[in-house]
Amino acid sequence: MKVFKELFYKMGRQVPGSKEYTLKAAEMAGLNNLPANSKVLDAGCASGNAAFVLLEKYPIVVAAVDVDANSLKSLEEKAAALNVSDRVSVYNKSMIDLDFESGSFDVIWSEGAIHNVGFYKGISYLKKFLKPGGKVVVSDLTWIKDNPPDEVFWYWKENYPDMTGIQENIKAMEKAGLKSVGHFVIGKDGFWDNYYKLMYTHINYFQQKFVKNSKAQEQLEELQTEINHFVKFGDYYSYVFFIGEK
Ligand SMILES: C[S@@+](CC[C@H](N)C(=O)[O-])C[C@H]1O[C@@H](n2cnc3c(N)ncnc32)[C@H](O)[C@@H]1O
């Protein structure tokens, strides 16, 4: 297994954010007004960080979609442990290759995953599964300040080539046929508290574990470089939640 994957499984969280940010987005999207058994499609759910926050707070059911079978297995185990298996179904499929009925979901949710298929492409595709008036909630890595220094601009150009600014993502959402309902930028706590601090500890652990594996060391170095960029340039980019309505 690639050391990246193993490290993220161990971390348990694969994207910056927090329970509080997920709930803030849910409130903005009006999940509190939804009747019981409303349907949420979580696209790129991984092992279900966001899904379990939503399931705990709202009487919803979740269709959890991811291309990674191991993450889905872990999600199913957690669902069983939390006694919510009857409210979760998993689909080991790409979020742009689904065969749900059109107009069958109240909410499409996707934290830190839409870039895998492209922000506009993903939203345009997923939108068809929403009921009229349904909401889309996506978080994506986004420039939040103009004129980033070359060093960080080119770093993300190479590692996250489609990254744009807030207004570009709002326009993409509107072009996909959704009304923009709101957006917010997560704070640095969302990067440090649940993500980079954990990652840092795990990098150290894996550096020892794979001490003779130069490929693994290279990958761990890449993660350390990402953290270093955030330390230096974390004012320029963040995850931004975008909320749209069909
Ligand atoms: C950063 S993680 C998402 C974290 C997750 N949303 C959460 O709440 O913790 C990105 C996920 O997207 C998944 N992924 C990548 N390409 C995908 C695709 N085409 N369709 C569905 N999932 C995809 C990866 O397997 C990974 O689990």
Return the CATH number at 129. Answer: 3.40.50.150
Do 44 and 109 meet the contact criterion of CB atoms below 8 Å apart?
no
pLDDT score, position 8? 86
Ligand 1 pocket: which of 4, 74, 95 to mutate (most atoms <8 Å of CB)? 95
Q: Does residue 157 form part of some domain? A: no
pLDDT of residue 37: 97
Residues in the chain with pLDDT values less than 50: none
> Atom 27 of ligand 1 has which residue's CA nearest to it?
46
85 domain residue, yes or no: yes
Q: What is the reported pLDDT for 3? A: 83
At 215, list the tokens.
Answer: 């490929």
Helix ranges (DSSP H) in the chain: 3-11, 19-28, 49-57, 69-81, 119-126, 150-159, 166-175, 189-191, 197-209, 214-233
| Domain presence at residue 50 | yes
Residue 89's domain spans which residues?
Answer: 16-150+163-190+235-245
From the list 193, 53, 154, the residue with the least C-alpha distance to 109 is: 53
For ligand 1, say whether the CB of 122 is within 6 Å of any of its atoms.
Answer: no
Q: If you measure from the C-alpha of residue 34 to the centroid of ligand 1, how many angstroms do you get, rounded to a whole number?
A: 25
Ligand 1 atom with the shortest distance to the CA of 68: 25
Helix%, strand%, coil% for the chain, nearest 5: 50, 20, 30
Which residue, by CA, sits nearest to atom 14 of ligand 1?
44
Which pLDDT score is estimated for 1? 58
Residue 177 belongs to a domain: yes
Give the residue, by CA position, lying nearest to ligand 1 atom 16.
Answer: 116
Please check whether residue 155 lies inside any domain of the structure: no
β partners of residue 62: 40, 88
Tally of domains within the chain: 1
Using a 10 angstrom Cβ sphere, with 0-12 exposed, 13-18 middle and 19 or more buried, the burial of residue 48 is buried
**How far is it, in rounded angstroms, from Cα 188 to Cα 24?**
16
Q: pLDDT > 70: what percent of the chain?
A: 100
Check pocket membership of 15 for ligand 1, CB cut-off 6 A.
Answer: yes
- Asked if residue 26 belongs to a domain, the reply is yes
Cβ of residue 194 lying under 6 Å from some atom of ligand 1:
no
- List Cβ neighbours of 31 (8 Å cut-off, separation of 6 or more): 38, 54, 57, 58, 60, 107
Instruction: Answer yes or no: is the C-beta of 50 below 6 A from any ligand 1 atom.
Output: yes
Q: Are 56 and 30 in contact (CB under 8 A)?
A: no
The answer to whether 63 touches 89, Cβ cutoff 8 Å, is yes
Question: Which residue's CA is the nearest one to ligand 1's atom 7?
Answer: 49
Residue 61, SS3 per DSSP: strand
Assess contact for 142 and 241: CB atoms under 8 A: no
Q: Under a CB-based contact definition with an 8 Å cutoff, are residues 113 and 139 in contact?
A: no
Cβ–Cβ contacts within 10 Å for residue 104, how many? 14
Query: Does residue 11 belong to any structural domain of this protein?
Result: no
Identify whether 220 is part of a domain: no
Closest to 221 in 3D by CA, of 3, 16, 6: 3
